[in-house]
Amino acid sequence: MTVRFGGQVDAVALRNALDAGTGTVKDVVEECLARIAERDGELHAFTRVEAECARARAAELDAKRASGAALGALFGVPVALKANLCWKGGIADCSSKLLANYAPPYDATVVRRLLDADAVIVGTTNMDEFAMGSSTENSAHGPTSNPWDTERTPGGSSGGSAVAVAGGMVPIALGSDTGGSVRQPAALCGVHGLKPTYGRVSRYGLIAFGSSLDAVSPFARTIRDVARVLEVISGACDRDSTCLPLPPFEAPQPADPSRLAGFRVGVPKQCFPAELDAGVRACVESALQQLERIGCELVPIELPHAELAIPTYYVVATAEASSNLARYDGVGFGVRAGSELGLQEMFAATREAGFGEEVKRRILLGTYVLSAGYQDEWYGRAQHARTKILGDYLQAFEEVDLVAGPTSPCTAFRLGEKTADPIAMYQTDLLTVPASLAGLPAISVPCGTSAGLPVGLQLVAPAQEDGRLLRAAQAFELATDHHRALPPMLLGAQA
Amino acid sequence: MSATIERDGDVWVSSRTGTRWHVVCGLEVHAQLRTRTKLFCGCETSFGDPPNSRTCPVCTGQPGSLPVLNEEALALAVRAALAIGADVAPWSKFDRKNYFYCDIPKNYQISQFDRPYCTGGGIDLPSGRRIRLHRIHLEEDAGKAIHDRGTTTLVDLNRAGTPLIESVTEADVTSPEDAFDYLTALKEILIYVGASNADMEKGELRCDVNVSVHPAGEGWRTKVEVKNLNSFRNVAAALEHEILRQIQAYESGDESRYPVQETRLWDADKLVTRSMRSKEAADDYRYFTEPDLPPVTVSPSFLERQRGMLPELPAARRTRYVRELGLSAYDADVLVADRAVADFFEAAARISGRPKEAANWISNEVLRALGDAQTGASTIDDLPVKPHDLAELIELVAKGTIHTAAGRTVIREMLESGTAAAEVVERLGLEQVEDESQLEDWCRAALEGKDAIVADVKDGKEKALGALIGPVMQASGGKANPQKVREILKRLILES
Amino acid sequence: MASSDEELVRRTAELARLSITPAEAAHLAPQFARILEHFKTLSDVDLEGVEPTTGAFGLRDVLRADEPRASLTQDEALANAPERIEDFYSVPKTIGGDA
């Protein structure tokens, strides 16, 4: 029997079927590669499909099962990695010309943990260059398309991983979320995307964008899968000083997972701004009513400093990025330009030739806000504003258990629609950056469609309450069918 | 025409103008901490290894890698701070210093900017002057860029990420001699507390100088930084040269020759400093808090633990040796100069109860064996002779079992073979002959035909006995007790 | 004539080692100015007495023991280097000489 997962079987079910002796990892991997071959020409979620590597791994895992050894928590599950996660044997080019063919000499902690859990990495996925963008259009590999409408973007920056899952090519994928780079594409593609508490998952091996914000974050079609991935990749790491010294995550096992009795859900006025798309507003309001029906109490709250979130985020993230990306100078790795020039001129030529426009824009912005004479006014103030934003949440969580609202102010936009206007593009991060600045766990769960395009409900929990967050997301999932909705292109495949 | 400049203490006097020039100088010293591994990764610190053989994703700045602070580096840095009486900050943090160069793989150096781990403190020089410290901070070293091979620059990152402490003095240094003495004292302290091996030849200690001159009574003038100083002697020589160069430049009256704020390199062959590059306004390090490293607190208990690990420092030891143990200042200096030697001395002195003798044996015999091909020992700890072995020898001499001259033979044998003193004495038959009749026989033989000496002694000139003792000792093969020989000779002469 | 925004962009680009062309500077300068203008809310808010947040929420004293771990081999370390001579990274010389 062939194990099918093209939108129907989640990772946990797949793993359990294999554990029960149904099918082989080889079948699973071949099925996965076939789906990619069939759909990715159109969607372009993958930057590289590591078919041979995946097949060799499948053989290894089938042998392991035959030997009677205990099977890992993701045994035989195909996984896609965003191209900013380091793994030996893969290419982590961050969708940048500058890092073309960069073959990391080490595994990211999350990659090691996926492999230790017997997962199969099938390839790397497209992204906005160095995770800078909200549409996966800033890529040296060209854009990725949204499976719900291939004329539209999947969001970003982890658009490739979102589409790999939404397009039924893999059951789970890892992305990275700095200011919404997993939650926003999850919303625009109709899948789950969890940004865990900052530090809950090791960043070692995640190629840095904004170090104080970056979070390795999973995509999946079910909350059970989200929880399973978090269980595998979370936990203390002695190679990341900012990783919390906690044991791996354990998903809560409530007596009645379908009810959220007594949960107080804060609904911030600031999450429903004037520019919010009407269809998004309708879906989210109906989702909030659904939460009420399963026992939640909705509480209107304020996040008074929300308007500071976008400037604060862009100042902090670009400042850190300007320094994090200084290493791409054509000495130790990457593609050198200007070999015939002097040393400093070679650095500049390499960076000029290798970086795309958005990356240059952000490096400039980040360099500027840190430079002498401007640092106090910009970077300094942003750090203080960040404390205010964090304070808003701390205050809110005195009263409520969760904060809820839309993930993105709009549904999937057309390819090219916002590329000419950086501010319009930055503005799409409006609703996701506050939780990033505060280091809080946040998830986007599918909550319906508007004009045939998915809408995401964002839930935010207090720091380290990833369990509470997933418990609420699961109750919502059990009460609705939104996560089962498939893009039209997959409906045919289902038959 | 250049004026002649003469020294009047710390003032430099121009013969032409009579201007009395004062010197303002501060020193920045980078010292490599004596850890096994680098500051932020588990690579072993390296010297002389094949290029790029001691690197990992962290110290090569591979994308995605992250730093984790080495606890021992912090402990050693704190110990160094305590040893110079500095204030260790209750908390400190790391910052990124951003600049582009091929030997810093991330193009930022992890350093400490506005919250260094320690401030203040100072070192008292033998001259009685005190050099105050402004601050010390922890940072990672750069790799090595090699420029003298062909048409390209080669980069070796083995050194990248090595832990350093950078100490910055106040501008209290007023002469080349101060600079030399300060560095000598600082190096001694760093070695003493085990914070650094401070070997300048291996680049474990590096010094930059900031210096300016101004006429007495006037304000400070433009300071110049001098780098590439690879010995204390070079620091003093470069400083002297730079002071003279600046005074001559000002005295020329030609403003185009006046010192400018710049970095100059010392050329140890030509004995001159030459301009490297002007400190451009474009130098903007954009320091900001390192987001990859949480702040570091130093708890009172951590501080006390480190304080408990501090040895008695050189200056205190020196004083105690002279005042309490009665050593000469010279012997005290010799012993204290190396902590291991001083520790050896203290143990031998304690066991034997004879500090002066222990000091004599160590400075005259034991230290001579260091660097000696026969012992193959470069430090006192490498020698086969341990403090209790030396104490045993001291006791044999003190009891009169052997005399001092024989003792020298014994210690040399001990140093070569590691044999215990008593065993050497027995094997070589060096035990003093105490037998009266045997001694008398040798003395009588020596007196044969020495009537003139006998007459002198009878006249009360006891000194004349000396000429007889030598032959007796020779006849005894060095084993006669010289004290007894003297007594017997005297008795025989007076009885005759 | 270049605007002061263009001059700012050029100076910042130099600091960031980006050799942008005059055309790029002209294109980026107004964007840059608009972005900063858009971010001005940051200057209006009262932040008196607020502590900065720099990340690593609440963590402190994350230290590791001074124990060696395996280094990369020379070939692993140099595998991604664009130019290598023997076991060194190779780079152009600095114009005007190096320290």
Residues B163 and B274 in one domain: yes
**The pLDDT value given to residue B373:** 67
Classify B58 as helix, strand or coil.
Answer: coil
Q: How far is B144 from chain C (nearest CA, A)?
A: 10
Residues B470 and B359 in one domain: no
Which residue in chain C has the smallest CA separation from A363? C16
Which residue in chain A has the smallest CA separation from B293? A241
* Structure tokens, B105: 């793989």
Q: Which positions in chain B touch C71 (Cβ < 8 Å)?
A: 43-44, 53-56
**What is the percentage of chain C residues whose pLDDT exceeds 90?**
65
Residues of A acting as catalytic residues = 82, 157, 181
Mean pLDDT of B294-310: 94
Q: How far is A323 from chain B (nearest CA, A)?
A: 7
| Interface pTM, i.e. ipTM | 0.96
Test B72 with C66 for CB contact under 8 angstroms: yes
Q: Which positions in chain C touch B156 (Cβ < 8 Å)?
A: 88
Could you give the CA distance from residue A483 to residue A489 in angstroms, rounded to a whole number? 16
Could you give the CA distance from residue A48 to residue A440 in angstroms, rounded to a whole number? 32
Which residue in chain B has the smallest CA separation from C56? B294
**The pLDDT value given to residue A1:** 34
Residues 46-85 of C with CB under 8 A from A: 47, 50-57, 59, 62, 64, 72, 76-77, 79-83
* Rama region for A126: left / alpha / beta (φ>0; ψ in -120 to 50; rest): beta
Q: In the listed set B427, B453, B472, which residue is the last one of a domain according to the structure?
A: B427
Residues B235 and B376 in one domain: no
**How confident is the model over B379-411, as pLDDT tens digits?**
888 888 899 999 988 988 888 788 787 888 888
Residues 135-194 of A with CB under 8 A from C: none
Cite the beta strand spans of B112-170 per DSSP E: 118-119, 122-124, 130-140, 144-146, 152-156, 163-169
Chains that touch B (3 or more CB pairs under 8 A): A, C
Which residue in chain A has the smallest CA separation from B153? A343
Mean pLDDT of C10-28: 93
Which residue in chain B has the smallest CA separation from C61? B296
Chains that touch C (3 or more CB pairs under 8 A): A, B
Q: Which positions in chain B touch C64 (Cβ < 8 Å)?
A: 42, 68-71
Q: Which positions in chain A touch C91 (Cβ < 8 Å)?
A: 330-331, 343, 346
Residues B416 and B316 in one domain: yes
Could you give the CA distance from residue A25 to residue A62 in angstroms, rounded to a whole number? 6
Test B70 with C66 for CB contact under 8 angstroms: yes
Helix axis angle for B339-352 and B387-399, nearest 10°, is: 40
* Greater pLDDT, B420 or B255: B255
Q: In the listed set B289, B321, B344, which residue is the last one of a domain according to the structure?
A: B289
Residues B219 and B109 in one domain: yes
C20 and B CB contact within 8 Å: no
A92 and C CB contact within 8 Å: no
**How confident is the model over A295-344, as pLDDT tens digits?**
999 999 999 999 999 999 999 999 999 999 999 999 999 999 999 999 99
For residue C76, report the phi and psi dihedrals to the nearest 5 degrees. -65, -45
Question: What is the tally of structural domains in chain B?
Answer: 3
For residue B302, report the phi and psi dihedrals to the nearest 5 degrees. -60, -45
Q: Domain limits at B363?
A: 312-427
Biggest CA pair distance of chain A = 69
Least confident range from A415-419, B195-199, C15-19, C47-51: namely C47-51
Q: Which positions in chain A touch C56 (Cβ < 8 Å)?
A: 199, 212, 241-242
Residues B210 and B336 in one domain: no
Q: Is residue B300 part of a domain?
A: no
Mean pLDDT of B174-198: 95
Residues B411 and B469 in one domain: no
Q: Is the pLDDT of residue A456 over 50?
A: yes
Q: Is residue B398 part of a domain?
A: yes
Residues B340 and B473 in one domain: no
Question: Could you tell me which residues come within 8 angstroms of residue B437 by beta carbon, excluding any fewer than 6 positions away?
Answer: none
Nearest to A81 by CA among A122, A40, A51: A122
- Domain map of chain C by residue range? 4-44
Residues B410 and B275 in one domain: no
Q: Is residue B295 part of a domain?
A: no
B64 and A CB contact within 8 Å: yes
- Domain map of chain A by residue range? 11-263+401-494
Classify A208 as helix, strand or coil.
Answer: coil
Q: In the listed set B274, B289, B304, which residue is the last one of a domain according to the structure?
A: B289
Q: In CATH terms, is domain A11-263+401-494 a member of 3.40.50.300?
A: no
**How confident is the model over B40-93, as pLDDT tens digits?**
999 999 889 999 999 999 999 999 999 999 999 999 999 999 999 999 999 999
The one-letter amino acid at A392 = D
